[in-house]
Structure 1
Amino acid sequence: MSNSHLFLNPVFISTPLQNGVGRYISQLQRVVLKFCKNHGSSRGMREFIESGLVNYAKENPGVVVYLKPRRHRSPVIKAEYLNGDTQWITCRNFTQEEILKWLTLLKTQSKNHTGDRLRKLWYSDHPSIQGPWTPYTFRDPRLNLVQFPNEELSQPANLEKSSEQELIELFEKQKILE
């Protein structure tokens, strides 16, 4: 096991605000679109602001959208969530369709968990790569098609003799030889 997990923020797995128990609450609270009015790399952002921003705001009334023009800077989308987390996406030379895709992605997720270490209630030095064990893991697949009760399956065909049975047979053979 590597030590890379030591430098990650510990986070417990939880559902924010019990989302999905009652009604769905979008976790995205605020979006700030930062762009340059003149620079060429902000062209897609400017086109999105001119043509698609009003529709996006109407479709997502729970998300506050701010515009922040900046001189000689690359365009950026800054997303702020209900739990206080922020996420930045650099939109250099993006088209307006790509910006809309990123905004919908930011709206549907609660946070980017790539830099967090998710905590569980169990720990293992040798975690399984095969998945959890269940009582049906090593069952014979022929049992899926069998009608029970079945005489053939009730009598095990290839059982080995127990040590007790072998001792009894050895004792009886010894009796015969004497």
Structure 2
Amino acid sequence: MSNSHIFMPSGFIRTPLQNGLGRYIPQLQRITLKFCKNHGGSRGVRDFIESDLMDFAKSNPGTVVYLKPRRHRSPCAVAEYLNGEREYLSLHEFTRDEVQKWLSYMRTRSGIPTMRFRKYQHTDYPTIQGVWNPFTHQAAEINTAEFPHEDLSKPVNLAPSATEQLIEIFKRSQITDSKEKPDN
């Protein structure tokens, strides 16, 4: 097990409140691509700008894209999110596809810094069985069944409910009362 998580900040899960309840609001506010027009380490960024940047901008109208050419500097991307966080990514010697994948990654993030999550509960003996859910002990054939299904639609023989048992007891008592009552 790695100990690299020791130096990460820790905290509880925070999400943008109710994002996606009415409509989804992308959290990436703006992205700045800084690159050199001549340097070889910026080739992938320049190729991305020439071929894929317009498609990226059209598919993400809520995100502002800035291009900032700089002389003799390594390429990078700076993403700014709605919560005020900034993320810096060096794009030195990345290919066009790698730049596209990293921009897609930045676009889908919430902007909350990567952190080690804490839990409100603690146990010295964690379970190895997994989390229980209502489908844990269901039959496996339900997963692949086409509904309506003949065998799965058959009524299950259930024990009578408490109400049905009381009605039955009442009917029996009515019968025994009528037999015990003498006729005049």
TM-score by length of 2: 0.64
CA change 1:5–1:60 in 2 (3 A) is closer
1:107 is displaced (CA, Å) by 0.8
Cα deviation code 1:38-62 (max 9, x no counterpart): 1011012112222322232222111
1:5 is displaced (CA, Å) by 5.5
Structure 1 unmatched ranges of 5 or more:
151-178
Matched, 1:16 2:16: yes
1:19-30 residue pairs with structure 2 within 5 A? Answer: 19-30=19-30
1:65 is displaced (CA, Å) by 1.0
Counterpart of 1:49?
49
Quick one: distance in 1 between partners of 2:39 and 2:9? Answer: 37
Structure 2 unmatched ranges of 5 or more:
143-151, 160-184
Quick one: distance in 1 between partners of 2:3 and 2:43? Answer: 44
Counterpart of 1:66?
66
Preserved CA contact (<8 Å) 1:32 1:68: yes
Counterpart of 2:129?
130
Counterpart of 1:159?
none
Preserved CA contact (<8 Å) 1:87 1:112: no
CA change 1:124–1:103 in 2 (3 A) is same
The one-letter amino acid of 2:53's match is L
CA change 1:135–1:43 in 2 (3 A) is closer
Preserved CA contact (<8 Å) 2:82 2:111: no
1:140-155 residue pairs with structure 2 within 5 A? Answer: 147-149=156-158
Preserved CA contact (<8 Å) 2:28 2:81: yes
The one-letter amino acid of 2:31's match is V
Q: CA RMSD in A?
A: 3.2
TM-score by length of 1: 0.66
Quick one: distance in 1 between partners of 2:107 and 2:101? Answer: 10
CA change 1:111–1:125 in 2 (3 A) is farther
**How many residue pairs were aligned?**
147
Counterpart of 1:106?
106
Counterpart of 1:87?
87
Counterpart of 2:119?
120
- Provide the identity percentage: 57
CA change 1:135–1:74 in 2 (3 A) is closer
Quick one: distance in 2 between partners of 1:76 and 1:94? Answer: 10
